[in-house]
Structure 1
Amino acid sequence: MTPSHDAPARGWALLSIVVIAVNLRPAITAVGPVLPVLGGDLTLSPFAMGLLGALPVAVFALVSSIVGHLVRRFGVERTAVLALSVLALATVLRSWPGPEANLWAGTVLIGAAVAVGNVIVPVIVKRDFPTATPLVTGIYVAVLGIFAGLAAAFAVPLAAASTLSWRLSLGGWAVLTVLALAVWVPRSRSVRADARAARSNPPTTGPGALWRNRDAWLLSAYMGVQSGAFYISLTWLPTVEQELGFTDVASGWHMFVLQVFAIGGNLAAPVLMRVGRDERVTATLPGVFMVAGSLALVLFPGAALVWMCVIGLGTGLSFVVSLTLIAVRAGDLHTAPRLSAMAQSLGYAIAATGLLVAGVLHSLGPSAVPLLIAAVGLVTAALGPLVGRNRTIAG
């Protein structure tokens, strides 16, 4: 469905994007602050805790590659309903008392559902808001960041408020997913021609064309390293801060502040992307912030809150830049889901690898993870001038 240009239709389309954004991070970002409690309750090894943090992102990589097939088969709307339904059930399953398998199965299903949402949103934005892609992407990512931050900030207080502890802290977010379904189920029922239209207008290039495109690979790598910096920060910096002497509550709120500044980066990105003839400067700047903030955390840990702000600006800018580039670089609506799937499949494989490395390095001391973030930020900055060139990707 392509909405008409009247305000109510565009407002409904924007609302549907926003409610997806609300749900794509809380089930993941709430884990970091309660990871020590969860690990102690279930007697998880350090490796298992590292795997728990990396598993959703690894699933992103595996599932993202098939999302394009789901969109072509069922249409965007019904694919969104499927993803939200699985997310609601998986969020409850992960926290359900019983065998430890609930935790792992729920985590895998959460990763699968979020992966679908990650891929389809740039497609929806390009389709429904073709002349306002950076602005709508910025709004989407800002909302995503707000709820990611809230989930991190309230994780420990929610766990402390009930005998259910971390189970309530992680499982309660399913309520928001049910509310999102109240928006998307009626929308999916009103759409019947979406999937048929996609099948009646097949793409003109073969499915392997993108995989031979250098710019598509560069954009995928950029997506990967910036995602790696974000997920390593959200998963491991609360634990790092606790080892540096901050309380678990303080570290959770520091993650909220990180997300607040990430939102500032989200909202600044559309403005910065209009500066100059292309996006090279805007794509490079986030890596500079990541390097500066993480190195400062190692050198001056007492001012950790300040460095969370700097890292947040970097991750916030980079996420909007990467999603916007996926949407605007795609040559047409057939290429958009393919490019989104490729960039996120490869990108999250890189991010998951980074999370596993962070889990291993963490045992070396509290400086190891920030130094890893600095290294990832350096690669982000190096890729910025390459992905920021104004190129159209066809495939």
Structure 2
Amino acid sequence: MRFPSSTAFALLGAGLIAISFGLARFAFGLFVPPIRADLSLSPHVIGIIGALPLISFALASVVAPWCADRRGARNTAMASGVFGVVGLALISQSAGALSLGLGVFACGICTGLMMPALTAAMQALVRRSMHGRVSSVMNAGTSVGVMVAVPTVLFLAGAWRYTYASFAVLALIGVFATWFFLPSVSRVMPSNAAPPPAISALQWWRLLRLSIFGFMMGFVSAAYWIFAPDLVVNLGEMSSDSTAWLWLGVGVAGLGGAVVADLADRNNPPITQALMLMMLAASLALLAASPDNLPLAAFSALVFGLAYMSLTGLYLMTGIRLLPGRLSMGPVLPFMAVSLGQAAGSPVVGMLVGQVGYADAFGFFCAIGIVVAMFSPLYPRYLEQEPEEETEDETGLQAAYDYQLQNEEGEPYRYKRMSKH
């Protein structure tokens, strides 16, 4: 067993996020046109199926902190990988809406378990001052996964079954990497360490506001993730393989989201959120206005990718800052809110597409995004605290992690109480 450094852990986490979020979850929209054609599915049915992984993500997120705390980071991440392998394999062999729905549902469980597992491992392996930056790098792994899916559409047009089978193989490799590199630590406490302090009313109030913004952002973004490729194929009459350029734009621009989120975290989160929500809304309007113009459609994907990844990274770090002693829980609430928003938005946009068409449906979601951006001054700010100060509870918890890590490495444990700064 070899434990990675902070940089190596960030890269490993980005790779696992690329598989669980990029391939198992967000790549689905890229393959909606050929899947719809092969399985004869209506837009409304696709909208419902597109909501299933978001629902399962939310359900898995409820139990994920408990799994990470009690079963350990390694076991939770491996369970996530197994669900990913099963889900991707089911999609590759799906014969209708039921089997396809079961596959994407399993992929949603994969995504729901992965981030809490990685944040639990991060608390054991990464210095506290680096948590925000490492989280941003890991979150950017979604863009990497999306970009990995692009060549399969460009060079294997129509071969979506073989593509998903190859994704399942990559997920299996991720399971072995998890077993080899991640520690099997859990949040056990030494006898002289008190449990984390109760979440205050002020923290709950700020978490609620954060979750509302996450829900609404997820609601608006569902239109692009699920129906953007379908829009350019059916409304713009482009070929199915040309939609790969959309996801390439989303992936490339999404890598910049890690930088933007880190800057926003250190400067003015409300203003950054307002700007990125306006960009998100603009990407919907631009795509609906020019579905037959590939350069403009690809530019809308760049705008969407930067805005979406910046917002999810910002929400992730805000959750960590608001609950500094509960790393397996802090990122869960905003991510679950985003997922619930996407689950609610996906069938709504599918229904609107069937009733009023793609352009009007995207315009409606664009308007919602602009309205939400206007409320950004209510975005929660962090609790006032010394960023590098360690409490007695955090010291005890870190000692517990050190104890397990040293046991796994076969070294004797020497508990030394750290003093306050």
TM-score range, shorter chain: 0.7 to 0.9
CA contact (8 A) 2:94 2:100 kept: no
Number of matched pairs: 376
Show structure 2 runs of 5+ residues with no match. Answer: 386-421
- State TM-score, norm by structure 2: 0.80
1:283 Cα deviation from its structure 2 partner: 2.2
SS in 2 for 1:172: helix
Tell me how large the CA RMSD over aligned residues is: 2.9
| Corresponding position of 1:21 | 17
1:119 Cα deviation from its structure 2 partner: 3.5
Separation (CA, whole Å) in 1 of partners of 2:167 and 2:114: 16
SS in 2 for 1:273: helix
Separation (CA, whole Å) in 1 of partners of 2:236 and 2:285: 15
Separation (CA, whole Å) in 2 of partners of 1:21 and 1:159: 25
CA contact (8 A) 1:218 1:387 kept: yes
| Corresponding position of 1:81 | 78
Q: Deviations over 1:103-133 (max 9, x none)?
A: 2222211111111113444454455242123
1:158 Cα deviation from its structure 2 partner: 2.5
Aligned partner of 2:109 among 112, 116, 133: 112
Larger C-alpha radius of gyration, 1 or 2?
2
| Corresponding position of 2:142 | 144
| Corresponding position of 1:386 | 378
Separation (CA, whole Å) in 1 of partners of 2:324 and 2:128: 12
1:57 Cα deviation from its structure 2 partner: 0.9
| Corresponding position of 1:178 | 172
CA contact (8 A) 1:18 1:140 kept: yes
Separation (CA, whole Å) in 1 of partners of 2:170 and 2:143: 15
| Corresponding position of 2:330 | 339
Alignment of 1:184-199 (within 5 A): 184-188=178-182, 191=184, 193-197=185-189
CA contact (8 A) 1:153 1:255 kept: no
CA contact (8 A) 1:358 1:372 kept: no
Separation (CA, whole Å) in 2 of partners of 1:52 and 1:211: 37
Aligned partner of 1:280 among 258, 270, 275: 270
| Corresponding position of 1:30 | 27
CA contact (8 A) 1:358 1:369 kept: yes
CA contact (8 A) 1:229 1:373 kept: yes
Amino acid at match of 2:91: R
Show structure 1 runs of 5+ residues with no match. Answer: none
1:340 Cα deviation from its structure 2 partner: 2.9
Separation (CA, whole Å) in 1 of partners of 2:91 and 2:213: 31
1:357 Cα deviation from its structure 2 partner: 0.8
Of all paired residues, the percent bearing the same amino acid is 20
Separation (CA, whole Å) in 1 of partners of 2:285 and 2:316: 26
1:347 Cα deviation from its structure 2 partner: 3.2
Q: Deviations over 1:272-329 (max 9, x none)?
A: 4323xx4222222211211223223344553222222222221121111111111122
SS in 2 for 1:325: helix
SS in 1 for 2:324: coil
- State TM-score, norm by structure 1: 0.85
Amino acid at match of 1:183: A
| Corresponding position of 2:317 | 324
